[in-house]
Amino acid sequence: MKRFFVLFITGWMLFLAVSPCMAAPWQIMSGEQTVEKGQVIQGDLWFRGDSLEINGEVKGDVIVWAGQVVVNGRIDGSVIGAVWDKLTIGGQVLGHIRVVANEMNLNGKVQGTVTTAAANLNTSPDSWIGQGLLGIFSKLTLQGTVNGPVEVKSMPLIQIGGRINGDLKTQGAPITWQTPLSLNGTVNDYSGVASDPAKIKGVSFSGRYLLHQPEESRTQNSGLWTIFSIVWFIGSLLASLILYRLFPRTLWSVTEPSQTNFRRSMLVGLLTLIGLPIIILILTITMVGIPLAIFLGLIYMILLLFFGVPVNLWLGRVLFRSRLHPSIMIILAGILQMLISFIPIINVATLLVFIILGMGLIIGHIRPQINERNQVDLKM
Place 223 in a pLDDT band, splitting at 50, 70 and 90: low
Q: What is the average pLDDT across 92-120?
A: 94
Residue 141 shares a structural domain with residue 122: yes
Residue 4 placed within a domain:
no
Q: Is 344 exposed, middle or buried (0-12, 13-18, 19+ CB in 10 A)?
A: exposed
Residue 7 lies in a domain: no
Q: What is the pLDDT of residue 90?
A: 96
pLDDT at 18 over 70: no
Q: Per-residue pLDDT for 73 more than 80?
A: yes
| Strands 92-93 vs 145-147: parallel, antiparallel or unpaired | unpaired
Q: Do 105 and 222 sit in the same domain of this protein?
A: no
**Which of 214, 236, 261 is at the close of a domain?**
214
- Which of these ranges, 19-28, 47-56, 208-217, 359-368, has the smallest mean pLDDT? 19-28
Looking at the fold, whether 206 and 222 belong to one and the same domain comes out as no
Tell me the CB-side half-sphere exposure of residue 164, using CA atoms within 13 A: 27
- Asked if residue 2 belongs to a domain, the reply is no
- By CB atoms closer than 10 A (0-12, 13-18, 19+), residue 110 is buried
Displacement of CA 333 from its chain's centroid (Å): 31
pLDDT above 70 covers a percentage of the chain that reads: 84
* pLDDT for 16 beyond 50: no
The per-residue pLDDT for 228 is 66
What per-residue confidence (pLDDT) applies to 63? Answer: 93
Same domain, 262 and 227: yes
Q: Is 29 found in the same domain as 176?
A: yes
Confidence of residue 367 (pLDDT cuts 50, 70, 90): low
pLDDT, residue 301, reads: 87
pLDDT at 19: 47
- The answer to whether 133 and 169 are in contact (CB under 8 A) is no
Question: pLDDT by residue (tens digit) across 293-344?
Answer: 888 888 888 888 788 888 888 888 888 887 788 888 888 887 887 777 767 6
**What residues make up the domain containing 88?**
15-214
Residue 34 lies in a domain: yes
C-beta of residue 344 within 8 angstroms of C-beta of residue 226: no
Percent of the chain with pLDDT over 90: 39
pLDDT digits (tens, 9 = 90+) for 273-301: 898 888 888 888 776 778 888 888 888 88
Highest mean pLDDT among 45-54, 242-251, 347-356: 45-54
For range 15-34, the mean pLDDT: 68
Please determine, for residue 368, whether its predicted confidence score (pLDDT) is greater than 60: no
Assess whether 143 and 249 both reside in one domain. no
Domain count for the chain, please give it: 2
Are residue 208 and residue 258 in the same domain, yes or no? no
Cα–Cα distance, 311 to 269 (Å, whole number): 12
**Cα torsion angle, 238, 239, 243, 249, sign:** negative
**For residues 208-227, average pLDDT:** 67
Q: Do residues 117 and 253 share a domain?
A: no
- Predicted confidence at residue 310, as pLDDT, reads 87
- Per-residue model confidence (pLDDT) at position 222: 55
Banded pLDDT at 178 (limits 50, 70, 90): very high
Select the more confidently predicted residue: 314 or 91.
91
Q: Is residue 333 part of a domain?
A: yes
**Based on the domain organization, do 245 and 358 belong to the same domain?**
yes
pTM of the model: 0.56
Amino acid letter, 113: T
Q: What is the mean pLDDT of the chain?
A: 83
**Distances from the Cα of 215 to the Cα of 175, 203, 212, 371, angstroms:** 18, 29, 9, 54
**Residue 25, SS3?**
coil
**What is the average per-residue pLDDT within 256-282?**
88
Same domain? 55 vs 139: yes
> Which of 92-101, 235-244, 263-272 is least confident?
235-244
Residue type, 29: M
Asked if the structure places residue 70 within a domain, the reply is yes
pLDDT at 87: 96
